[in-house]
Amino acid sequence: MFSYLYSIKFKLYNTTCSSFITHNSQLTYMPYMVFKKSPFTCHSVHLELVERSLVTFFLLLSFSLFSQDSLHTKKIFPKIINFSLTSVAYYEFTSQMTQHFFRDYPYGEFHLKHDWKTWRGLDKFYHNYGSYQMSSVFYQANKTCGFDSIKALNLAFLESTIFSTTKEFADGHIDIGGWSWYDIMMNFTGNSIFYAQQRWWGSQRIQYKFSYFSSDLQQYNPKVLGTSYKNYWLKDYNGETFWLSTSLGDWKITENKWLKPIGLCVGYGANNLIKEWDNPSTFTLPRYSQYYLGLDINWQQIPTYNKLLKTVFFVLNRFRFPLPSIEVNSIGKLQFHGYKS
């Protein structure tokens, strides 16, 4: 079964790659990486080898875990589907990452980058939030497919770590990027926030959320901050806020079904960030950090037996929706926001 899945996956892999190979004198396509010819061309093979190794790892890990179940029971089949989908997701993750995020940058030797203070720390919150959410999604998928709570949690931590570390490996070969130990630390912390709560409480009493509100600063650096609404939310740090949220129901303060979803959250954002480190001289507004205290809703505290609604509430809880908040920023201003998310 596993050999069959593995062979099918790489038949698709090789067919896809061969269709993109070009002999153009300026560009060469190596698996999952389009880049200008350089002395470092051979390094593109590294990402391919990492992907092959990790897909193999997923399948071998699945075999190891499945061996504890009888092949004659129905328990094994959801787990086969789970690991197959994880392998496909990893395949798509590496493919999309290198084709859309890294294809315009020269691919060279592995190097490090000291970037703790870039974008006033918002890039690090992105890593933290992303790893937390990956752990959450993997945990739910593992539970749904029949793993017990502890095994599902351990496996989710491992899967999220593999996905995030692969991105850092690729980043370490990009000329404007680099392997960042700070990114690795924030990825680990995000995974740990989810892991610790699930082990101690059996639930996420403190939810990690994201919101975006357009800043209208993209015009000053569209290549970096985005060119359309499709990528503003991903690239424009000025409009992004990261939140830690909790509700009355999370701490069993009330049993009233209307009050349980109501909660408070604290958030962090920044504004007037045109470039990574410093703004151009033509842009005179000061860069500053923003700290928020606001109201929030825990959608998963709304009681329902409908499986579709439970899924919808699970997705909605990844984000904070526009509700009143108070902002205190690093330039000494206090502001009230009636609807800003």
Is 336 found in the same domain as 250? yes
Please report the pLDDT score of residue 177 as a whole number: 83
| Non-local CB neighbours of 138 within 8 Å, separated by 6+ positions | 86, 155, 156, 159, 160
Is 173 found in the same domain as 24? yes
Is 245 found in the same domain as 179? no
Is 249 found in the same domain as 156? no
Please report the pLDDT score of residue 331 as a whole number: 95
CA 315 to chain centroid, in Å, comes to 14
Is 5 found in the same domain as 52? yes
With contact defined as beta carbons under 8 Å apart, do 62 and 47 qualify? no
Is 267 found in the same domain as 312? yes
Please report the pLDDT score of residue 234 as a whole number: 86
Is 278 found in the same domain as 325? yes
Residue 245 belongs to what H/E stretch? strand 240-247
- The half-sphere exposure of 226 on its side-chain side, counting CA atoms within 13 A, is 19
Is 192 found in the same domain as 332? no
Q: Global pTM?
A: 0.79
CA 238 to chain centroid, in Å, comes to 18
Is 218 found in the same domain as 174? no
Boundary residue ending a domain (173, 201, 229): 201
> For each successive 10 residues of the chain (341 residues), what is the average pLDDT?
39 37 32 34 44 52 47 63 75 71 75 90 95 93 88 93 88 85 96 98 97 92 88 91 97 94 97 94 94 97 93 94 95 90 65
Boundary residue ending a domain (201, 221, 248): 201
Boundary residue ending a domain (163, 184, 201): 201
Please report the pLDDT score of residue 27 as a whole number: 31
Neighbours of 19 (CB within 10 A): 8
Please report the pLDDT score of residue 341 as a whole number: 65
Residue 262 belongs to what H/E stretch? strand 262-271
Is 210 found in the same domain as 189? no
Is 181 found in the same domain as 313? no
Please report the pLDDT score of residue 25 as a whole number: 31
* Cα-trace Rg, the chain: 22
Contacts 24+ apart (CB under 8 A), 244-248: 244/206, 244/207, 244/208, 244/209, 245/206, 245/207, 245/208, 245/209, 245/296, 245/298, 245/320, 246/205, 246/206, 246/207, 246/298, 247/296, 247/297, 247/298, 247/301, 248/301
Q: Which domain holds residue 144?
A: 1-201
Domain count, the chain: 2
Please report the pLDDT score of residue 10 as a whole number: 39
Neighbours of 56 (CB within 10 A): 14
